[in-house]
Chain A
Amino acid sequence: MLYFSRWKALAIILTAVIVCLFAVPNFFSQERVKTWPVWAQRHIVLGLDLQGGSYLLLEVDSNYVKKEKLDQVRDEVRRVLRDAKIGYTGLAVRADAVEVRVKESDQQAALTKLRELSQPLGGLLGSSGQRSLEVSDAGGGLFRLTVPQAAITERIRQTIEQSIQIVERRINELGTVEPLIQRQGTDRILVQVPGLQDPTDLKRILGQTAKMEFRMVDPSVSPDQVQSGRGVPADSEVLMSEQSPKVPYVIKRQVLVSGGDLTDAQPGFDQRTNEPIVNFKFNSSGSRKFAQATSENVGQPFAIVLDNKVISAPVIREPITGGQGQISGNFTVQAANELALLMRAGALPAPLTVIEERTVGPGLGQDSIEKGKLAAYVGSIMVIAFMLLTYRLFGVFANIAVAINVAMIFGILSLLNATLTLPGIAGVVLTVGIAVDSNVLIYERIREELRGGRNAISAIDAGFRRALATILDSNITTFIAAAVLFYIGTGPVRGFAVTLGIGIITTVFTAFTLTSLIVAGWVRWKRPKTVPI
Chain B
Amino acid sequence: MTQSILIALGVLIVVLTVVAVFDLLPPLRIVPDVTHFDFTRFRRISFPISAALSILAIVLFFTHGLNFGIDFKGGTLLEVQSKSGSADIGAMRASLSNLGLGDIQLQQFGGPADVLIRVAEQPGGDAAQQAAVQKVRGALGDSVEYRRVEVVGPRVSGELLAYGMLGMMLAIFSILIYLWFRFEWQFALGAMIANVHDIVLTIGFMSISQVDFDLTSIAALLTILGYSLNDTVVIYDRIREMLRRYKKMPMPQLLNESINSTLSRSIITHVTVTLALLALLLFGGQAIHSFTAVMVFGALLVGTYTSIFIAAPILIYLGVGEHREAPDTPVKKPDTPAKK
Partners in one complex: yes
- Counting CB contacts under 8 A, is B222 at the interface? yes
- Counting CB contacts under 8 A, is A14 at the interface? no
Q: Mark B3-23, 1 if CB is under 8 A from A, else 0.
A: 001100110110011011101
User: Hey, which chain A residues are within 8 Å of B179, CB to CB?
Assistant: 477
Q: Are B275 and A383 in contact (CB under 8 A)?
A: yes
Q: Which of A491-518 contact B (CB under 8 A)?
A: 491-493, 496-497, 500
User: Hey, which chain A residues are within 8 Å of B284, CB to CB?
Assistant: 371-372, 375, 422, 425-426
Q: Which of B164, B231, B283 contacts A488 (CB 8 A)?
A: B164
CA distance A449 to B33 in the complex (A): 12
| Smallest beta-carbon distance B2→chain A, Å | 6
- Counting CB contacts under 8 A, is A389 at the interface? yes
Q: Are A422 and B146 in contact (CB under 8 A)?
A: no
User: Hey, which chain B residues are within 8 Å of A370, CB to CB?
Assistant: 2
CA distance A429 to B34 in the complex (A): 31
Contacts between the two chains (Cβ within 8 Å), count: 294
Query: Across the two chains, which residue of chain B brings its CB closest to A442?
Result: B265
| Smallest beta-carbon distance A362→chain B, Å | 9
User: Hey, which chain A residues are within 8 Å of B28, CB to CB?
Assistant: 389-390
CA distance A375 to B283 in the complex (A): 5
Q: Are B147 and A378 in contact (CB under 8 A)?
A: no
Interface size on A, residues (CB 8 A): 96
Q: Which of A382, A425, A434, A451 contacts B275 (CB 8 A)?
A: A382
- Counting CB contacts under 8 A, is B30 at the interface? yes
CA distance A357 to B153 in the complex (A): 9
Query: Across the two chains, which residue of chain A brings its CB closest to B215?
Result: A493
Q: Are A458 and B17 in contact (CB under 8 A)?
A: no
| Smallest beta-carbon distance A518→chain B, Å | 13
Q: Are B13 and A385 in contact (CB under 8 A)?
A: yes
The bracket for how many chain B residues form the interface is 35 or more
Q: Which of A354, A432, A480, A481 contacts B130 (CB 8 A)?
A: A354
Q: Which of A198, A356, A367 contacts B153 (CB 8 A)?
A: A356
Q: Are B130 and A203 in contact (CB under 8 A)?
A: yes
Question: Which of A426, A475, A490, A533 has the most CB atoms of chain B within a 10 A radius of its CB?
Answer: A426
CA distance A152 to B12 in the complex (A): 66
Known: A363-B81, A375-B280, A387-B272. A487 touches B167 (CB 8 A): yes
Known: A361-B148, A395-B20. A447 touches B33 (CB 8 A): yes
Query: Across the two chains, which residue of chain B brings its CB closest to A370?
Result: B2
Known: A354-B126, A488-B166. A381 touches B156 (CB 8 A): no
Q: Mark A220-252, 1 if CB is under 8 A from B, else 0.
A: 000000000000000000000000000000000
- Among B56-64, B96-104, B169-177, B200-208, the one that faces the other chain is B169-177
- Counting CB contacts under 8 A, is A470 at the interface? yes
Q: Are A388 and B287 in contact (CB under 8 A)?
A: no
CA distance A216 to B64 in the complex (A): 63
Query: Across the two chains, which residue of chain A brings its CB closest to B28?
Result: A389
CA distance A471 to B12 in the complex (A): 30
User: Hey, which chain A residues are within 8 Å of B170, CB to CB?
Assistant: 484, 487-488
| Smallest beta-carbon distance A374→chain B, Å | 5
| Smallest beta-carbon distance B272→chain A, Å | 5
Q: Are B275 and A388 in contact (CB under 8 A)?
A: no
Query: Across the two chains, which residue of chain B brings its CB closest to A358?
Result: B150
- Counting CB contacts under 8 A, is B137 at the interface? yes
Q: Are B215 and A489 in contact (CB under 8 A)?
A: yes
Query: Across the two chains, which residue of chain A brings its CB closest to B152?
Result: A356
Q: Are A422 and B287 in contact (CB under 8 A)?
A: yes
User: Hey, which chain B residues are within 8 Å of A496, CB to CB?
Assistant: 216, 219, 223
Q: Are A430 and B273 in contact (CB under 8 A)?
A: yes
Known: A379-B279, A423-B216. A198 touches B287 (CB 8 A): no
- Counting CB contacts under 8 A, is B264 at the interface? yes
- Counting CB contacts under 8 A, is A20 at the interface? no
Q: Are B265 and A444 in contact (CB under 8 A)?
A: yes
CA distance A274 to B191 in the complex (A): 77
Q: Are B230 and A390 in contact (CB under 8 A)?
A: no
CA distance A480 to B223 in the complex (A): 10
Q: Mark B215-245, 1 if CB is under 8 A from A, else 0.
A: 1101100110111011101100110010000
CA distance A376 to B278 in the complex (A): 11
Q: Which of A197, A380, A444 contacts B268 (CB 8 A)?
A: A444
- Counting CB contacts under 8 A, is B133 at the interface? yes
| Smallest beta-carbon distance A431→chain B, Å | 9
Q: Are A475 and B275 in contact (CB under 8 A)?
A: no
Query: Across the two chains, which residue of chain A brings its CB closest to B125?
Result: A353
Q: Which of A363, A386, A452 contacts B145 (CB 8 A)?
A: A363
Q: Are A355 and B153 in contact (CB under 8 A)?
A: yes
17 A-B residue contacts at CB 8 Å? A359-B149, A378-B282, A381-B10, A382-B9, A388-B17, A390-B27, A423-B216, A432-B276, A437-B265, A440-B265, A454-B337, A473-B233, A484-B174, A485-B223, A489-B215, A491-B215, A500-B226
Known: A392-B23, A447-B264. 18 other contacts (CB 8 A): A200-B134, A200-B137, A370-B2, A377-B9, A378-B6, A379-B279, A380-B276, A381-B6, A383-B275, A385-B13, A388-B16, A393-B23, A425-B284, A433-B275, A449-B338, A478-B227, A488-B163, A497-B219
Q: What 7 pairs across the A-B complex have the smallest Cβ distances?
A: A379-B279, A481-B226, A371-B285, A488-B167, A478-B226, A433-B276, A433-B273
